[in-house]
Every structure is written in C-alpha cells, then in structure tokens.
C-alpha cells in the first residue's frame, strides 16, 4: 500500500508509536503485544493492529511485535534517518519558545532559519538560528531548499506570508494561526489551534470529567 492510501488518522499515530518504541528499545525490551502497546500509548489494540496492517505483516500471532524490527521499520517509514530543515516565520513569544526547544533535540527535524519584521532581531542569531528579514522569505526558502515552515505570525498577515512561502517552494505548513489558509492542492497544511484545543479540553472536563 502506498503512502497516499494510508488514512490520515493512521499517519498521525505513527510518530506516537515510533516514540514509544524508542523508549522500549532504550529499556532493552525485545517484544511487545498490541495490548501492551495500547495501554502505553492510549490507543485501543484493534486500532493499532489495523494501523499496522496497512504495512503488511509486522507481527506474529501469539508472539506480538519484535521491538527492534518494528522500530527499524518505522524509522524508515517516517524518514528518521534524514534530517529535515524547516523555517520558523514569526519570532514572537511562541516563536521564541519553539526556537528554544528546536526539534533536532528529539527527532529528525531542525529549525534552520527564522524570519521576522522586528529590526531588533533581524540579521541576528537567536538560539543558534539565523533570523532573516521577512522580505527575503521567498528567495531564502528557495536557496536553502526548505520545504516546510512553521507559521506563528499575526492572523492579518498569515495568508500573504503563506503565499510568499509557497512562491519560495514550500510544500508543508504547520499553521499556529487561527486562519484557515488557502494553498495549492500540492501544499499540505497542518493546523494547530491552541485556543481551540484548550476550549475543547475545558468542555470535556466540564461535561465528562465529573
């Protein structure tokens, strides 16, 4: 089965499986059942078995899954051996937090360039990452062959910034703004609405947590 045929919900769970398999590997555990994995990652075992079935026979009935083999498989599927450089657009409070964290500490993603309009930080190095003027966005993305951006800009400029990024060759946007961006069909957008997530959490606490 090709990647295009993998359900989006399954694809979003793959990094969760991979992260926990790394933990198991570090503890020396050699095999795990779908039931054990379900308890650890809080995904029911039937869903795990269905997710894994899209990739063929990854386990054996009565044995479970070999941790090292499964880890190696997901490392390849998730392209963990290849470092992906991404750009951060908007170095405000959230942007600074993301720069301070930077993803290369926990995986195969690294913020290698940032963009902003603030003269105080433009053309400086923030947390080891060069900050460029927003006017240079398109050509810097193109020159550095950056295909993924993290967008943490004010809502009123989100669409125009996204347009410039697409012009620079971007194919993926992690969007922290509440704006639903209009992009070409070959550009993927992952929306992260912190306010919406918090409101949803509060709703569930108030209605189902008692």
- pLDDT for residue 57: 65
State which H helix or E strand residue 110 sits in.
strand 109-116
Mean pLDDT, all residues of the chain: 87
> Which domains are present in the chain?
3-77 (1.10.10.10), 84-196 (3.40.50.720)
Percent of the chain with pLDDT over 70: 90
CA distance 65 to 196: 37
Closest by CA to 137, choosing from 104, 166, 157, 97, is: 166
Judged against a pLDDT cut of 70, whether residue 6 lies above it is answered with: yes
- pLDDT for residue 7: 85
- pLDDT for residue 186: 95
Tokens standing for 42?
């809080």
Residues forming the annotated binding site? 90-95
Q: What is the DSSP letter of 108?
A: S
Judged against a pLDDT cut of 90, whether residue 88 lies above it is answered with: yes
- pLDDT for residue 31: 86
Mean pLDDT of 54-68: 76
Judged against a pLDDT cut of 50, whether residue 2 lies above it is answered with: no
Give the 3-state secondary structure of residue 48. helix
CA distance 9 to 112: 29
Closest by CA to 74, choosing from 17, 33, 134, is: 17
| φ, ψ dihedrals at 85, nearest 5° | -90, 135
Mean pLDDT of 48-77: 81
- Model pTM? 0.71
CA distance 5 to 2: 5
Residues forming the annotated binding site for NAD(+)? 90-95
Helix/strand number for the chain, H first, E second: 8, 9
- What are 91-105's pLDDT values in tens digits? 999 999 998 876 655
Cα angle vertex 129, ends 126, 131, to 5°?
70
| φ, ψ dihedrals at 131, nearest 5° | -110, 120
Judged against a pLDDT cut of 60, whether residue 144 lies above it is answered with: yes
Polymer length in residues for the chain? 210
Percent of the chain with pLDDT over 90: 43
Mean pLDDT of 54-61: 74
């Amino acid at each position: 089965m090709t990647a295009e045929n993998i359900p989006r919900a399954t694809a979003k769970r793959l990094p969760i499986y991979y992260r926990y398999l790394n933990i198991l590997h570090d503890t020396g555990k050699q095999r795990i059942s779908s039931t054990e994995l379900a308890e650890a990652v809080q995904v029911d075992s039937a869903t795990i078995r269905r997710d894994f079935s899209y990739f063929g026979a990854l386990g054996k009935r009565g044995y479970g899954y070999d941790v090292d083999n499964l880890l190696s498989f997901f490392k390849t599927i998730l392209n963990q051996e290849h470092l992906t450089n991404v750009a951060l657009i908007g170095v405000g409070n959230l942007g600074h937090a993301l720069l301070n964290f930077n993803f290369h500490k926990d995986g195969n993603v690294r913020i290698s360039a940032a963009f902003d309009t603030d003269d105080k930080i433009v053309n400086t190095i923030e947390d080891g990452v060069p900050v460029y003027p927003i006017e240079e966005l398109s050509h810097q993305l193109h020159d550095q062959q950056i295909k993924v951006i993290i967008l943490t800009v004010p809502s009123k400029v989100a669409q125009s910034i996204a347009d410039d990024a697409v012009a620079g060759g971007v194919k993926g946007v992690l969007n922290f703004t509440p704006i639903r961006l209009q992009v070409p069909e070959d550009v993927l957008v992952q929306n992260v609405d912190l306010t919406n997530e918090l409101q949803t959490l509060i709703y569930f606490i108030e209605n189902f947590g008692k």
